Amino acid sequence: MRWNLKKIPDVNKVAKLSKELGVEKTLAKLLVQRGIDTYDLAKDFFRPDLDKLHDPFLMQDMDKAVARIERAIENGEHIMVYGDYDVDGTTAVALMSTYLLSYYEQVTSYVPDRYKEGYGVSYQGIDFASDNDVTLIIALDCGIKAIDKVAYATEKGIDFIICDHHRPGKQIPKAIAVLDPKRNDCNYPYDELCGCGVGFKLIQALSVQREEPFQKIVPYLDLVATAIAADIVPMTGENRILAYHGLRVINTSPRAGIKAIIQQLKKKELTITDVVFVIAPRINAAGRMRHGLHAVELLAETNLESAIEFAASIETYNADRKELDKKITQEALQQLRDTKEEQNYTSVVYSEDWHKGVIGIVASRLIENYYRPTLVFTKSGDKLAASARSVKGFDVYDALQECSAYIEQFGGHKYAAGLTLKPENYSKFKAKFEEVVKARIPENLRVPEVAIDNEVFLSEVTPKFFRILNQMAPFGPANMHPVFMATGLRDNGYGKPVGADETHLKLNILSGADSKTYNAIGFGLGDKFPLVKKGLPFKAAFTIGENHWNGVTSLQLLLKDIQQEGDKNSES
């Protein structure tokens, strides 16, 4: 792994902030590195305030969206809430539909079938709306490129309001309102909201228009926090405020559906990591294995007993999903070996039998084995559909644009995208994608990176230090869990590989003249044991966590990587 030690920030700013906040300089450094270099910015960071949310009417077309919804309600029109089948989409549909249903009955939810309709707004969905006398569709987490679909809906007398956060194309759909902070002509102060976040801004605007107290929409923040966590958007600005307070809702008064998912956990308080790895996969599983509407029904359910039944069936879907993605990952790895493509700059694999619902997960698994931009294709109707995933620092969306001559449709982000193409274009696309990535990707991005915030002495790692560190949560992109480096370390002789297949590494670390030992665990680092077993000095990159054992809680170093002292495989 390539170690990247971040630049030391302005020492004067660090000293000033350390004094003003009464914290150690190591903690002040972390804040300044994140752009938090004044007392007031630190106050906002440590105490995210819902009063600091932006006026929703600053978003382009927000006034038009609110006016159209109010007119639909006044006229007794049928409204359809339409959203994508992933976590961001299904939470957004649950949020918008349950809010509207709280004061208006003529609202229905629609999630496209992943396999029959594919991603985004579908003609089938519009036909369903037309057949059921729907005259207004509110599309969430999709629609920004649905130019033809919106035109088709207009011909059928159906208006569209689009709430999206994906990058627009050259044209904007001719909808009644297009809410997307990434629009070039949108001056909204924060453009990193997820789809559910844009949906929340719309219900915030509706709530303002109806002169409701803000407190009425706070219970919806559990859905927003779940979407923010699952969609891996930056944990800054409004996202941080929404996630922080959404976590409080999850931990104090979650909706029945989320409560049904988490009640089996023994943790007293969930973190954003728990949302990513426990709540989000189960919501996603419904859309991956059966239909996203099951997830919406779970999240909209108000009766806990019914929610528990929904959650049990989704738990089954999630178990099936795990088995399936494991099987397909093995087949994809074998395909790369059989085609002798291990040395390529990209991984592009295809099988018509692979389950479309798990190809995104499989793409991420392949990156763990071959660290490079990856696409996993499967058959979808008369076309091929793929999920794309990228490595840190490389924009796969831009690379796909270079290959657009062979693509039917695509959309997404810098690190994750989806696309479809005709079967006869697969080989040409594959060759072009390899060519584009080979020409664009710097050599250093072909090696996994450990981004290190600060070098520390292990003696600095105290319970007080850890408590303050935890107040920097929720963590996520642009506010990652701090990673530290320590040098001159030795194992006390009791270190060993652990786990059924000895893939993990457990150490008791000594540091310099310090006689204290520090408990450490390195998941997936079992093969590094030879570096420490002879008592040779080494350096470690790690985060700090807690170990709970036999009722005792202690600090633990969570190793990201270890290297022999003197190894030059790092950069400053």
Query: Could you read off the pLDDT of 15-44 as tens digits, one per residue?
Result: 999 999 999 999 999 999 999 999 999 999
Residue 571 banded pLDDT, cuts 50, 70, 90 = very low
Mean of the pLDDT values across residues 209-213? Answer: 96
316 pLDDT band, cuts 50/70/90, is confident
Residue 492 has pLDDT above 80, yes or no: yes
Residues 130-146: tens digit of each pLDDT? 999 999 999 999 999 99
Q: What is the CATH number of the domain that holds 561?
A: 2.40.50.460
pLDDT digits (tens, 9 = 90+) for 235-282: 999 999 999 999 999 999 999 999 999 886 767 789 999 999 889 988
How many angstroms separate the CA atoms of 159 and 64, rounded?
Answer: 12
pLDDT at 364: 93
Q: Is there a single domain that holds both residue 156 and residue 296?
A: yes
Residues with Cβ within 8 Å of 431's Cβ and at least 6 positions away in sequence, in order, are none
Domain count, the chain: 3
Helices (H), 104-194: 123-131, 147-155
Spatial separation of the C-alpha atoms in residues 535 and 218, rounded to whole Å: 55
* 78 located within any domain: yes
> 446, 467, 489 — which closes off a domain?
446
Q: How does the average pLDDT of the chain come out, rounded? A: 92
pLDDT of residue 302: 94
Going 256 to 96 to 164 to 83, the CA torsion angle's sign is: positive
Q: What is the per-residue pLDDT for 266?
A: 67
Q: Which two tokens mark 46?
A: 């440590």
Task: Reply yes or no on whether the pLDDT at 377 is more than 90.
Answer: yes
* Tens-digit pLDDT profile for residues 394-410: 999 999 999 999 999 88
Domain end call among 388, 423, 446: 446
Q: Are residues 145 and 192 in the same domain?
A: yes
In a domain, 17, yes or no: no
Task: Judge whether 13 lies within some domain.
Answer: no
Q: What is the 3-state secondary structure (H, E, C) of 504-564?
A: EEEEEEEECCEEEEEEEEECCCHHHHHHCCCCCCEEEEEEEEEEEECCEEEEEEEEEEEEE
In a domain, 67, yes or no: yes
- The CA–CA distances, whole Å, from 5 to 33, 372, 456, 569 equal 12, 22, 12, 11
Indicate if 440 and 458 belong to the same structural domain. no
Residue 344's domain comprises 339-446
- Whether omega for the bond prior to residue 48 falls within 30 degrees of 0, making it cis, is no
Share of the chain residues as helix, strand and coil, in percent rounded to the nearest 5: 45, 20, 35
Look at residue 4 and tell me if it is in a domain.
Answer: no
* Per-residue pLDDT at 333 exceeds 80: yes
Per-residue model confidence (pLDDT) at position 514: 72
pLDDT of residue 288: 72
Q: Residue 305 maps to which CATH number?
A: 3.90.1640.30
Beta strands, E only, 368-473:
374-380, 383-389, 409-412, 416-421, 449-452, 454-455
Question: In which band, very low, low, confident or very high, does the pLDDT at 129 lie, cut at 50, 70 and 90?
Answer: very high
Q: Report the alpha-carbon distance of residue 36 to residue 14 in Å, rounded.
A: 10
What is the per-residue pLDDT across 495-538, written as a single tens digit (0 to 9) for each? 899 988 899 999 999 987 677 899 999 999 999 999 888 778 89
Helix (H, G, I), strand (E, B) or coil at 266: coil
337 Cβ contact partners less than 8 Å away, ≥ 6 residues apart: none
- How far is residue 261's CA from residue 283's CA, in Å, rounded to a whole number? 9
- Spatial separation of the C-alpha atoms in residues 202 and 55, rounded to whole Å: 11
Window from 51-55, 349-353, 354-358 with minimum mean pLDDT: 354-358
Residues 441 and 515 in one domain: no
Same domain, 288 and 421: no
Confidence at residue 567, expressed as pLDDT on a 0 to 100 scale: 64
In a domain, 19, yes or no: no
pLDDT beyond 90 at 552: no
Report the DSSP pairing between strands 514-522 and 552-564. Answer: parallel
User: Does residue 286 have a pLDDT over 80?
Assistant: no
What are the start-end ranges of the E strands in 381-503? 383-389, 409-412, 416-421, 449-452, 454-455, 484-491, 496-498
Number of Cβ within 10 Å of residue 427's Cβ equals: 12
Report the pLDDT averaged over residues 149-154: 97
Tell whether 432 and 458 lie within a shared domain: no
Q: Are residues 178 and 72 in the same domain?
A: yes
Task: Judge whether 502 lies within some domain.
Answer: yes
Of the pLDDT bands very low, low, confident and very high (cuts 50, 70, 90), residue 569 is: low
Confidence of residue 572 (pLDDT cuts 50, 70, 90): very low
Both 456 and 559 in a single domain? yes
Residue 441 and residue 455: Cα distance in Å, rounded?
Answer: 29
Predicted local confidence at residue 568, as pLDDT: 57
Q: Are residues 460 and 378 in the same domain?
A: no
The token duo for 471 is 């107040």
Identity of residue 93: V
Domain shared by 353 and 303, yes or no = no
* CATH number of the CATH domain containing 367: 3.10.310.30
Q: What angle do CA 269, 264, 254 make, to 5 degrees?
A: 55
Give the domain-ending residue among 420, 446, 472: 446
Residue carrying the six token digits 């005709």: 422
Range picked from 89-93, 314-318, 319-323 for highest mean pLDDT: 89-93
Same domain, 269 and 415: no
- Asked whether the predicted pLDDT for residue 450 surpasses 90, the reply is yes
- Would you say 175 and 158 are in contact if contact means Cβ atoms under 8 Å apart? no
Q: Provide, rounded to the nearest whole percent, the portion of the chain with pLDDT above 90.
A: 75
- Residue 295 shares a structural domain with residue 401: no
